[in-house]
Structure 1
Amino acid sequence: MKKITTALGIGVAALSVVALSGCGSSGGDTTASGAEKVVMWGSWSGEQVDQLEAQAAAFNESQDDYEVSYVAQELVEEKLLTALAGGEVPDIVLWDRYQTSLYAPKGALAPIDELVEEDDIDLDAFYQPALSEMEVGEDLYGLPLLVDNRSLFYNQTQLDEAGITPPTTWDELKTAAVALTENDGGTLERAGFDLSDPGLFNQYLAQAGGSLLNEDETKTAFNSPEGLEVLEFWQELMDEGVFEPGFGDGATPFAEGTMSMKYDGPWALSTLDAVEGLEYGITPPVAGPDGDTGAYMGGFGLVIPEGAQNVEGAWELMKWWTTEPQNGVDFAKISGWIPANIEAANDPYFTEDPHYAAFIETLEYAEVRPSVEGFSDVEGKALVPALEQFLVGELTAEQALDQAQEQGDQILADARG
């Protein structure tokens, strides 16, 4: 088992940020050796800065024409808009792909179609759902770099003690969760399964054979028999006592052994591998009642802002990192992230690792969230709040889905203008 020692969670930590007036594009500046400077922005901070600087150093050593430096930025998308207004932008940005459909129409990103065509880049080399998040209309605004998904983590020791094999279906998940739960005099001591994240509703909905939006993406579609089936399944688990709202808040219950199973991403590996005595496994998400699989992928890409001064250097870095599989694998060894390049992701480094292998298998069918304008607010302001109310018993399943549909449809209508 590989030990990933760097932090993988992508959050924006407190970090002193270089002032915009001094951190934009190089404008043709060169180093003492004559290499042109390339400035890269991103939201990664803390130990993640070391990861990116190590990859930049590898690129710098691979050729003599360009020298990349990384500048961490809180709220990088908003900072980019500010930099555009001031005429001082970076050359390349480590980019949350989900933001492309929002910021490309604002004129923040430069299309790269001509560059792709000139260099005959094989776009089939990437996971296509990830590539689709870099597209808006007919234009491509970057290349996918890193991918992730949520797969099922389980405590191997606890499953072995209970004589249970890793579940593969909803029914098996319920049976295992009930068997693994420990309750002492009405107090939940060990949760069999984590139900704390209603944001995973989309994954369960896909497993039930449902859809988030209707065919033309103008209205929500989750208030459906499939959506109701998801919430009824959640309610069955809650009624069996395998989880209760608030359990494990402020702690790390899976790492501490007080939670037997949970959905999580590859960013969790470094933390769990550091826990002495914890034996855990990972399996792809379980299938729904009719055998449907369902998972969602997220992750990052690389984009070139409008107005970047060193487009050539930015493009060379983008190609080197995304289209040459070994460079993606090498960054995984630094950071733990899975490459969006299919050949790189299927390197033995991942496929022969008992933890990574499940994520790679899941990527074969993982989808991405709808990119239609307004959908992120449908999730964040309508769907998830209603599901939170359902989980604490404030709304019935029907009421939660009705409320989320009404609010979500209005958000989509407002976004269309």
Structure 2
Amino acid sequence: MTSPHPGLTRRHALMGLGVGALALAGCTADPGSGAGDGTITMWGSWSGEQIGQLEKQIAAFNAAQSEIEVRYEAQELVEQKLLTAIAGGGVPDIVLWDRYQTAVYAAKGALAPLGELVERDGVDLGAFYQPPVSEMTVDGTLYGLPLLVDNRSLFYNRELLTEAGLTPPGTWTELADAAEELTVRENGRLKRAGLMLDDPGLFNIWLLQAGGSLLGADGKSVGFNSDAGRAVLDFWDDLLRRRKVFELGFGDGVDAFAQRNAAFKYDGPWALSTYDAVDGLSYGVVPPVTGAAGTGAITGGFGLVIPEGAPNREAAWTFAKWWTTNAANGVDFARISGWIPATVAAAKDPFFTEDEHYAAFITAMDYAQVRPTVTGYADVEALALLPALEKFMAGELSAAEALAQAETQGNQILGENA
């Protein structure tokens, strides 16, 4: 569940502070240790409108002190480009990093360990949400600082629920009942989906709610072919084939929720600005509904890493600390971009907790987990689990067949990467 880049600015951007109002924290280190000119290059995959978001935050840092200037350069396939740069020269100083890639690229020698710098400067790793810290730690070595977090929470059309006399659901059963009641068909055709079930990649969230695990107890094999995994697919089967709240292909190419043709959907905080801009759309957000085992959510997002061989390591570290460890700076970037900071104090700021839409995501962060970081698990999802789930959704495989197929292929992938 790698986070999509938001690409849109939250309505609160209009409340943003000027660059001079941002505080500078921890800028005591020597600004350069290589080229030494005080200018550092930041790479990342964010592009389009996202570049403007990053440049506003970078401008705040540049204006807050006089020793370091940060410049952002957007890169396609930034991880692969980094490997090429390490082999041939031109390594950037710092990278806006998809945390889920850390285990893969740390093993390739692309990332510099940061533990010594953390200890030297007394950075409190306990100030961050801990699952993102674990996602950037490989074999006990820290390779980055968490920057931004997300999760998928439940969006609902407030007007539809009010008209039906319903309240936002809190459990699987309540969601199924409400979705069935709000589904509309005309002449046998689905006109309004009760619940968008168009992303089988969210299986991991449902699995946690059912009490399951993506990995087995040994940490070396998959764990989703279980009673909990079958419970998820049985529930999906009930929604799809008995209650008929969704059908494959519905909403393809459009946003059915924005068009008021879906009552419920799971989505991330990046969607808030989209729905805020839809004229007349009244919507709400609640944390993920609970299953038989209780709560369950997955968090993704970004961190900051310093590549191996970065020419201005100390200056890059100063910038990373300024952005990640100062809560005010995290909140200010939220005003610019809509992203949730990985620092708990920043995420608990009233900017989020008193916002009726953000608050659900902050609640879910209290129990959200990260996906397994063992080498090869990303391929298990992409090459084994998701294809099997898609065949199940299409009626080509039973629940038992889909999970068994994904288990066999997934364990083979993990074995090859062991």
CA distance in 2, matches of 1:121, 1:176: 47
Give 1:156-167 correspondences, 5 Å limit: 156-167=158-169
1:140 corresponds in structure 2 to 142
CA distance in 2, matches of 1:335, 1:379: 29
CA RMSD after TM alignment: 1.3
SS in 2 for 1:260: strand
CA distance in 1, matches of 2:408, 2:85: 38
2:287 corresponds in structure 1 to 284
2:67 corresponds in structure 1 to 65
Residues 363-415 of structure 1: CA deviation (Å, up to 9, x unaligned):
00000000001101111000010000000100011110111111111111111
CA distance in 2, matches of 1:126, 1:215: 27
Cα–Cα, structure 1 residues 5 and 116, in superposed 2: closer, same or farther, change >3 Å? closer
Give 1:153-302 correspondences, 5 Å limit: 153-238=155-240, 239-290=242-293, 292-302=294-304
- Asked if structure 1 preserves the Cα contact closer than 8 Å seen for 2:36 and 2:312, the reply is no
Match for 2:58 among 53, 56, 59? 56
Higher relative contact order (CA 8 A, sep 6+): 2
SS in 1 for 2:396: coil
Write the letter of the residue equivalent to 2:288: P
Residues 253-289 of structure 1: CA deviation (Å, up to 9, x unaligned):
0000001100000010111110000000000000002
Alpha-carbon distance, 1:216 to partner: 2.1
Write the letter of the residue equivalent to 1:160: T
Cα–Cα, structure 1 residues 5 and 241, in superposed 2: closer, same or farther, change >3 Å? farther
1:308 corresponds in structure 2 to 310
Pairs aligned (count):
391
SS in 1 for 2:215: coil
Write the letter of the residue equivalent to 2:35: G
1:96 corresponds in structure 2 to 98
- Runs of 4+ in structure 1 displaced over 3 angstroms? none
1:3 corresponds in structure 2 to 11
- Asked if structure 2 preserves the Cα contact closer than 8 Å seen for 1:60 and 1:68, the reply is yes
Write the letter of the residue equivalent to 1:320: W
CA distance in 2, matches of 1:184, 1:278: 23
- Asked if structure 1 preserves the Cα contact closer than 8 Å seen for 2:172 and 2:289, the reply is yes
CA distance in 1, matches of 2:416, 2:281: 49
CA distance in 2, matches of 1:142, 1:231: 36
Match for 1:371 among 352, 370, 373? 373
Match for 2:83 among 67, 81, 84? 81
Alpha-carbon distance, 1:87 to partner: 2.1
SS in 1 for 2:107: coil
Alpha-carbon distance, 1:70 to partner: 0.3
CA distance in 1, matches of 2:143, 2:341: 18
TM-score, normalization by structure 2? 0.92
CA distance in 2, matches of 1:378, 1:308: 32
1:28 corresponds in structure 2 to 35
2:112 corresponds in structure 1 to 110
SS in 2 for 1:165: coil
Identical amino acids, percent of aligned pairs: 63
2:4 corresponds in structure 1 to none
Write the letter of the residue equivalent to 1:216: D
SS in 2 for 1:38: strand
Q: Specify every segment of 5 or more residues in structure 2 that has no aligned partner in the other structure, as ranges.
A: 1-9, 15-31
Residues 105-138 of structure 1: CA deviation (Å, up to 9, x unaligned):
1110000111101100100000000011110112
TM-score, normalization by structure 1? 0.92
Q: Specify every segment of 5 or more residues in structure 1 that has no aligned partner in the other structure, as ranges.
A: 7-24, 31-35
